[in-house]
Structure 1
Amino acid sequence: MPYSSFQPLGETAMPLDLATLRNAHARSRQFGLSENTRPDYALLSPNALAQRLDQHRLFYEHALPLVETLYQQIANTHSMIVLTDASGLVLHSLGDDDFLARAQKVALQPGAIWTEQSQGTNAIGTALAEHRPATVHGDQHFLKANQFLTCASVPILDPHGGLSGVIDVTGDYRGYHRHTMALVRMQAQTLENQLLRDAFTDVLYLGFHGRREFVGTLMEGIAAFSLEGHLLAANGSARFQLGLEDDIAGLRFDALFDPGMEHVLARCQAAGEGWVTLCLHNGVMVQARAALRLRDAPVVTRVSPRLSRLGYLNTGDAQLARVLERVGKVLGRDVPVLITGETGTGKEMLAQAMHGDSPRADKSFVAVNCASIPETLIESELFGYADGAFTGARHKGHRGKIVQAHGGTLFLDEIGDMPLALQARLLRVLQQREVIPLGSAQAVPVDIALICATHCDLPAMVQRGEFRADLYYRIQGLTVRLPPTRERTDLAAVIRKMLNAEQTGQLRYTLSPQVMDLFLAYAWPGNFRQLYNVLHTACVLAGDETEITLAHLPDDFVILAEAGGHAQESSAGRLATVTQTAIQSALAEHEGNVSAAARALGVSRNTIYRKQRH
């Protein structure tokens, strides 16, 4: 069976075995490298990199939000996320500023090639060479210049089994964590599933599992069949459940499932999708959700409850209610809105809700994170470019995000990170209501509703000359502040709403009184983004258990929350101090034995090492 990012529950990816590592080092020597070879620092030009992004746009656009999700899980750990194409070219990176600066010194940045041929043994290059996940730690890197790194890479397969690229987490070797690979594999599997579901038209998609609550999760099998019943593609879970080998050519629906395809088509033809109970060819019964995807069918957007309208967001907090009332009054009135607030307070969620309640709801909502797009690419991403704008440009040019939002809403997240030069161009677009793509003299009229968001103090940035005053006054028609989680009086209601969204099948999760008290007392420095990640992880770990207890919470979170005390007494500094005190006490009690102290505190050894460094 070919490699897949899917693994049954309970299995984890192991670091490279000694034989594989020796082979990787041998390949490095065959490429003419030595341990002291200077790394290849050559970068593609911005234009050439933009061209490669165009070539991989579907892959890139599916991957980008997953990269951001993965970064939320590893933020502030001296790490970064790297996305490459199948040739090892770095398309995108996102990480902590301090580590990004160190990574740039060895050219681990967009535009660089990280194959074994150019960089010696490294997780990205070795994953590409071996066609399987690779963890390369410290001095396992062939080049000495790269031995300060620890890297976990997973290759991404396209629906036909070919390589699309690699997703990788790289950090300081002193902060190695054995769970990193599991996080990378989860996002890799999610990306592969998304690529499969977006690869075909005029097909029947089948999502199935032995337990209904696992359909729609990473554990579901996904298979695509032509309308004539031929198997076109299947993800790793589907291959595992069906016992399929490498070659799936010639396999038909009716040979794999009973009842046959005619029965399933009849169930889902009227509504476009439907639930069916099927028997696999090996006798196993599964629950399946079948959906038709037809070329000429209208596109129906299903909005997640977490991204619904303004009324849904109102769960009783007075500060938030005033924000919702004010933004509701300006919808459809050509008033730009600036949303401020700490990271993770739900700024994009509010923007989506505003769009959903506006007269433009049936048009596009286009979100651009100004902090996540490399500075060299943000201009072409926002404004687009014309045919022939630069060597290798896409034949028909590229419609930028602003033009894509025509008639709808443009949401510029983290606008404080937009380069000054681009701020002037954006100001002209807002004033003249037209865009001139790169390499073109022809203006394109645009009609957009503008919503911007930032966690920065824009007035202070204006005073320091870091943000244009004229643009600031243009985008702040109405400024609203989203309160941080620690100030919200409706936290219990928000938690219940998040738990309802995690409901799968017949499982309805609740929090034990002890966990609810812990959540209400905690300061939540990462705000609702942190809360959601903790709840989601707890629900996954709970499995069939419907009550979330302390045993289901991430270890690092429990020690931090229990050490932090009540929210009104907490701050990031206070929490850090208390946590350091707990760690020092545990180390003293166990005579400096880090492993014993970690067991006593219920955290990993790396957590203690990381806290000690700070």
Structure 2
Amino acid sequence: MTQRFVTPSVTGRADALAQAHARSREFGLRASEAPDFQPLQPLALRDLVERNRSLYAHALPVMETLHAQIVDTESMVLLTDSNGVILHSLGDSDFVEKAKRVALCPGVSWSEAHRGTNAVGTALAEGQPTVVHGSEHFLQANRVLTCSCAPIADPFGRTIGALDVSGDPRGFHKHTMALVRMSALMIENQLFANQFGDAMRVRFHARGEFIGTLFEGLAAFGDDGRLLAANRSALFQFERPLDALRAQPFEALFAVAFPAVLQQASRAPGECLTLTLPSGVRVLARAEYATRPAFSADARGQRAAMPVSAPAPRRPRADLITFATLDTGDAHMAAVLNRVEKVRGRDVPLLVLGKTGTGKEWLARAMHEESPRRDAPFVAVNCASLPDTLIEAELFGYEDGAFTGARKRGSAGKIVQADGGTLFLDEIGDMPLAQQVRLMRVLQERAVVPLGGTRAVPVDVRIVCATHRNLRAMIEQGTFREDLYYRINGLVVTLPALAARTDLPVLVERILTRLRSSEPRGSEADSERMPARVSAAVLECFARCRWPGNLRQLANVLRTAGIMAEGAAEIGIEHLPEDFLHDCEPPQGEPAHVEPLPSGAQRTLSAEAQRLPSVDAHPAPSQPARMEELQATLIEQTLARNNGNVSAAARELGLARNTVYRYMRMRGTR
């Protein structure tokens, strides 16, 4: 349904209510009946919220602000979908119970078909703001309420939901409807900004002081200069509905060539210019373009699109992380990259799920490198590593003297440092609730107020969040804010655990390449010190590993092993860290792989074996099993001679300490 932007007169309101009552009777409702309502089950309600995720995420902070303005008036704020089903509610505690008695709670439909004439159902049916006082409700059961509701439209004018304030008729205030309408406008404008973050946008109004407020006109244009969408205020100023304006060229709407405005926006971003509407009204305007294409004018002065000149190629770096870097042949990972690639360059928040060490930051860095923000900062914050007392100052910054121990001249904070680029919030599930509220406000308002400060600092950041926690469960437990969840939950992807991936050999090769390129080098010969490959035995060992630390553990193992193997042709078993081998136990029931002893130790073993008691009196085991038993016995005896000193025993036998430890675990002596 498309909204009509008309404020009804007193007579028009009476007519609209009469028509609403007539529709209620046509639906078969009787005024005296107690309606039978069944709210949606929790899972069904959750699915409905998911389908209205963008509306929900943008509306919740506005609902909180609206509720703060009407608190203690025995009322509540409601958000519904386009069919009138309540998605979320905020209310005074003394009014919530009364509201439940009339089914004013999430999961219940307040369409006219279900609840008769009421502000929500009638506003959605009429496509315009509606107030319904107590006795004006069709159902007698609902006459204990007075409700003010405004429909919410998407950037294309389609009604996607409604915002409502319902309360006790005795507490009704004539300004409530104005607050509701302004709040609905705020939600619509934020939806518009989110939808067309990368398009050419023009903010305009006949009075310059209204630019940047709820009442500014917003119009978005494609690269060809044709109108894509306009908000309610813009349509009012154009004096035409969106259907009549869509695809109109820029020149027809503002009486100036599109390339000229592009040039102005590029040369002096944020500066106002004067434009003329089709009605002849002159307006002040501010043009914004995140990605500005290049244009030229032909001999007739007509705008002609030219291919955008490619940015100067940056020098490739071996340690640069891109989508190609992460695409190593695993099907699950390829599917993740394919989904993420579709939203690069768009203002869609990314939430990365996965166990610790699965490469969540690598994916965030790749997305940054593949986006138009690549030349701006990438700032990573681990929310789990910062104490609760410091995370606020780290994220939001602080003014000089904001708290004891604060740095002179203050600190900008991580969010401001990421301005123009990407902010990666790792382990977002560990962020304290108080800071979740502040972060939500920053994401909503795109501005930061430092601790101890009063001036808001505008910021433009792309948000990528990551966590290994179950945020939905945390919401139910009250430890994670639902509004923040839906704000950061634009696209959700889950990274596979390393043990479940099929691309281990390629991963090893690429991590080694990165490690070799990042090693400090004193001479050209130093670049070859770390081996470029691992042995087949190491790969076999890696394949058996459980990898509880995932990619982070693999990178650390290879870094340590590479240093131990400097000067060797390849990394061998003997170069692996000792404690790593604990994670490479074979599955239960599978015999352990035992590295053969070197020739010197084999000769010692032969001599020692002659002194061992014969095992022929028992059923003969296989030759490899007997050899492993003899090897283990030899190692035990050597350890005993060296008083349990593993390093001394390894030197005597000519073995790596890892091999001794492996035999010890096999025998259960460690």
- TM-score, normalised with respect to structure 1: 0.52
1:231 match? 227
2:137 maps to which residue? 141
Q: Which amino acid aligns with 2:162?
A: V
Deviation at 1:3, TM superposition (A): 4.3
Distance 1:285 1:76 in 2: 44
CA distance 1:270–1:383, change in 2 (3 Å)? closer
SS of the residue corresponding to residue 165 of structure 1 reads strand
SS at match of 2:151: strand
Deviation at 1:444, TM superposition (A): 11
Which string of whole-angstrom CA distances, capped at 9 and with x for unpartnered residues, describes residues 284-314 of structure 1?
222111111344532989xxxx999543385
> What residue in structure 2 maps to residue 53 of structure 1?
49
Distance in 2 separating the partners of 1:445 and 1:78: 53
Secondary structure, in 3 states, of the residue corresponding to 2:179?
helix
2:249 partner letter: R
What CA distance in whole angstroms lies between the structure 1 residues aligned with 2:137 and 2:475?
Answer: 27
For 1:259, the equivalent position in structure 2 comes to: 256
Q: How does 1:51-90 map to 2 (within 5 A)?
A: 51-90=47-86
SS in structure 2 at match of 1:35: coil
Other-structure match for 2:403: 321
Deviations 1:67-109 (A, max 9, x none): 1110111011111000001011111101111111211111111
| Counterparts of 1:216 and 1:174, CA distance in 2 | 36
2:27 is the counterpart of 1:27: no
Letter in 2 for 1:169: V
Contact preservation (8 Å) 2:21, 2:116:
yes
Maintained 8 Å contact 2:254/2:275: yes
Partner of residue 152, structure 1: 148
2:180 to 160, 184, 196: 184
Q: Any conservation in 1 of the 2:475–2:481 contact (CA below 8 Å)?
A: no
128 and 446 in structure 1: CA distance in 2 versus 1, 3 angstrom threshold: farther
Corresponding residue to 1:298 among 370, 373, 376: 373
Larger Rg: 2
Tell me if 1:194 matches 2:162.
Answer: no
Residue 94 of structure 2: SS of its match in structure 1? helix
Instruction: For 1:94-243, list aligned pairs within 5 A.
Output: 94-200=90-196, 202-243=198-239
Q: Match for 1:289 among 286, 290, 302?
A: 286
Q: What displacement does 1:46 show?
A: 1.1
For residues 79 and 61 of structure 1, what CA distance do their matches in structure 2 show?
A: 22
Counterparts of 1:185 and 1:383, CA distance in 2:
24
Report the aligned-residue RMSD.
4.8
Q: Kindly state the Cα deviation for residue 374 of structure 1 after the two structures are TM-superposed.
A: 8.3
CA contact (8 A) 1:152 1:180 kept: yes
Equivalent of 1:312 in 374, 377, 399: 399
Are residue 92 (structure 1) and residue 77 (structure 2) matched?
no
- Asked if 1 retains the 8 angstrom alpha-carbon contact of 2:398 and 2:451, the reply is no
- Flag the 1:266–1:396 CA change in 2: closer, same or farther, 3 A: closer
Question: Equivalents in 2 of 1:124, 1:205: separation in Å?
Answer: 32
**In the aligned structure 2, how far is the partner of 1:87 from the partner of 1:395?**
23
Give the aligned residue type for 1:113: S
CA contact (8 A) 1:40 1:118 kept: no
Whichever residue aligns with residue 188 of structure 1, its letter is A
Paired with 1:38 and 1:443, the residues of 2 have a C-alpha distance of 58
Secondary structure of the residue that 2:398 maps to in structure 1?
helix
Structure 1 residues 147 and 288: alpha-carbon distance in aligned structure 2, compared to 1, 3 A threshold: same
Secondary structure, counterpart of 1:217 in structure 2: coil
How many Å apart are 1:110 and its aligned residue?
0.9
Structure 1 CA distance for aligned equivalents of residues 203 and 127 of structure 2: 26
Instruction: State the AA in 1 paired with 2:38.
Output: A
Identity within the alignment, %: 39
Q: Which runs of 5+ in 2 are unaligned?
A: 292-344, 346-370, 378-392, 415-426, 496-546, 553-670
- CA shift, 1:216, in A, is 0.4
In 1, Cα distance between the equivalents of 2:405 and 2:97? 38
Distance 1:274 1:147, change over 3 A: same
1:160 is paired with a residue of what secondary structure?
coil
1:398-413 equivalent positions in 2, closer than 5 A: none
After TM superposition, list the pairs within 5 Å mapping 1:239-388 onto structure 2. 239-245=235-241, 246-269=243-266, 274-294=271-291, 295=345, 296-298=371-373, 309-312=396-399, 321-322=403-404, 353=450, 375=476
Amino acid at match of 2:275: L
**Aligned in 2, Cα 1:381/1:138: closer, same or farther, shift over 3 Å?**
closer
Contact map agreement 2:76 2:91 (CA 8 A) in 1: yes
**Which of 17, 21, 34 is equivalent to 1:38?**
34
| Equivalent residue runs for 1:426-441 within 5 Å | none
Residues 1:115 and 1:362: Cα distance change in structure 2 (over 3 Å):
closer
Verify the 8 A CA contact 1:352 1:365 in the aligned structure 2. Answer: no
Q: Deviations over 1:406-454 (max 9, x none)?
A: xxxxxxxxxxxxxxxxxxxxxxxxxxxxxxxxxxxx999999xxxxxxx
Aligned amino acid, residue 243 of structure 1: E
The aligned amino acid for 1:249 is R
2:400 and 2:144 mapped to 1: Cα distance? 45
Opposite residue 180 of structure 2, the aligned amino acid is V
SS at match of 1:109: coil
Alignment partner, residue 13 of structure 2:
17
Residue 308 of structure 1 contacts residue 353 of structure 1 at CA under 8 Å; is this kept in 2? no
Query: Per the alignment, do residues 151 and 353 of structure 1 end up closer, same or farther by CA in structure 2, a change over 3 Å counting?
Result: same
Q: Which deviations, in whole Å up to 9, do the C-alpha atoms of 1:128-187 show, x marking residues without a partner?
A: 111111101111111111110000000011111111100000000111111100000001
Cα distance, 1:280 vs. partner? 2.2
Report the 3-state secondary structure (helix = DSSP H, G, I; strand = E; otherwise coil) of the residue aligned with 2:272. Answer: strand
Paired residues of 1:46 and 1:377 also in contact (CA < 8 A): no
TM-score (norm 2): 0.48
CA shift in 2, pair 1:165/1:312, >3 Å:
same
The 1:383–1:95 alpha-carbon spacing in structure 2 relative to 1, beyond 3 Å, is: closer
Match of 1:483 in 2: none
How far has the Cα of 1:283 moved from its partner? 2.4
Aligned residues: 371
Tell me if the contact between 1:157 and 1:164 (Cα under 8 Å) persists in the aligned partners. yes
Q: Is the 8 A contact 2:433 2:480 kept in 1?
A: no
Change in 2 beyond 3 A, CA 1:43/1:31 = same
Post-superposition offset of 1:269: 3.0
Deviation at 1:202, TM superposition (A): 4.7
Q: Is the 8 A contact 2:149 2:163 kept in 1?
A: yes
